[in-house]
Amino acid sequence: MTAADHLMPQNPDGWRLFRGEGPPRQVTMPPAPPWRRFGGQDTAGSEAAAPRAPRPYLIGPTQRDIVNAALHLRRPLLVTGHPGTGKSSLAHAVAHELSLGPVLRWPVNSRSTLAEALYQYDAVGRLRETNLRQHADDDAPGIGYFIRLGPLGTALVADGRPRVLLVDELDKGDVDLPNDLLTVFEEGEFEISELSRLPPGEDDVEVHSSRGGDTVTVHRGVVRCQEFPVVVITSNGEREFPPAFLRRCLRLDLPDPDEERLRAIVAAHLGADALPRVDDLVRAFLARRAPGELATDQLLNAAFLRLGGVDLDAEGLLEAVLHRLGGAL
C-alpha cells in the first residue's frame, strides 16, 4: 500500500462529509494532512501522545550555508521571503536536526514589547495570594512563583546547549522594537528588577520558564546565557529595519521554489508515488503563481485533497484552495 492510499476517505458517502441538509448523522473523519496533525492524548485518553513529527524541510545549498554561518557566528538570522516559502519552518528544521529541543516562539504584533518577551511579573496575583494566606495563617509562595520568563528570556537561560528562538514577523512590531533587541543580543543577558532588589540571603530564586511547569534558577536577578541561542527572525518585508540592527544579523532571503523544488516538496510530504497524480495541479499552481500571490502549502493542500479522492474539478473548489494571497477578498 502506498502513502497516497492511506489518504483515501473511509466514509461510505465519499469525500463530502457535510451535506448541508440538517439531520445529524455519524461519519468517519478522514486522516488529517501530515502538517495538520497535533500532539494530544492517545486513543485511550490515558496519556499524552508523542509530539508530532516535524515537516520535511528542503533548502538550497546557498541558503543552507548562510544558516551555518549564523550558527558559527552566534548571530541572529533574519529570514525574508514571500508567504509560504518556509521562513518559520526553518527554525523548527534547525531545532530538530541539531536536537536543540522545542522551538521557543515569540509571535510579534503591533503591541509586542521587549519586556514581555523577557519576563512577566504577576504583582496582582502575588498580592492576592499574600492576602489569602494571611487569613489562612499560611505562608505565601515566594516571589519567584509569580515570575514567568518569556520566550526570549527562556532562550537566554544559562545552559550547555543553545535553544532555538523564533521571532516571528518582527516587521509587524513597533518601529523601535528592533533597536530594543540590540542590547540583549549584544550582551546576552537581562535583569529581572524585582529579584535584583531582594535582600542578601535571597540570591537564588526559582522562576517559571515559558514552557509548561519547568523552573530555572536566577542568581541575583540576572539571566545570562552560556550559549547564545539560535535566533531566527522572520520578516515579510513590510518595512525596513535600522542599519544598526541589520549589521548584527545575517540575512537570508528564501526564494519562491521552482518547478523542480515544488515536486520535491510534494514528494517529501506525500510520497514520490503521489507525483503522477498531482502533475496537473503543479502545472496549474505554476501558471497561477505570481510573486507572493500563492504559497507552497496551498499546493500541498490541493495535492492532499486530490489524493484523498476529492473532486477538485467541482465548481469553485480549486479556486478556493489556490486563492491569491494579495488584494481584497
pLDDT in tens, the chain (329 residues): 444 455 544 555 578 888 888 889 888 888 888 888 876 544 433 334 445 556 788 899 999 999 999 999 999 999 999 888 899 999 999 999 999 999 999 999 999 999 999 999 998 888 888 777 766 666 778 899 999 999 999 999 977 889 999 999 999 999 999 999 999 999 999 999 999 999 988 899 999 998 767 899 999 999 999 999 999 999 988 889 999 999 999 999 999 888 999 999 999 999 999 999 999 899 888 888 876 678 888 999 999 998 888 888 766 778 888 887 765 44
For residue 112 the three cell numbers come to 509586542
Question: Distance between CA 133 and CA 142 in Å, rounded?
Answer: 12
Residue 113, amino acid: T
Q: Where are the alpha helices (DSSP H) in the chain?
A: 61-73, 87-97, 114-118, 123-135, 151-155, 177-187, 193-196, 243-247, 259-270, 279-288, 296-307, 317-321
Residue 141, amino acid: P
Which residues share a beta bridge with 148?
A: 120, 208
pTM of the predicted model as reported, rounded to 2 decimal places: 0.85
Query: Around Cβ 313, how many Cβ atoms within 10 Å?
Result: 7
Between the CA of residue 160 and those of 98, 105, 149, 175, 225, what are the distances in Å?
A: 14, 20, 19, 34, 9
Q: Specify whether the CB–CB gap between 282 and 259 falls below 8 A.
A: yes
Give the β-pairing of 147-149 and 119-121.
Answer: antiparallel
Give the β-pairing of 77-80 and 147-149.
Answer: unpaired
Query: Around Cβ 47, how many Cβ atoms within 10 Å?
Result: 7
Q: Specify the 3-state DSSP secondary structure of 260.
A: helix
Question: Distance between CA 207 and CA 139 in Å, rounded?
Answer: 18
Residues 148-163: b if buried by 16+ CB within 10 A, e if exposed: bbbbbbbbbbbeeebb
Residue 34, amino acid: P
Q: Specify whether the CB–CB gap between 76 and 185 falls below 8 A.
A: yes
For residue 14 the three cell numbers come to 465519499
For residue 198 the three cell numbers come to 531582594
* Residue position matching grid coordinates 487569613: 135
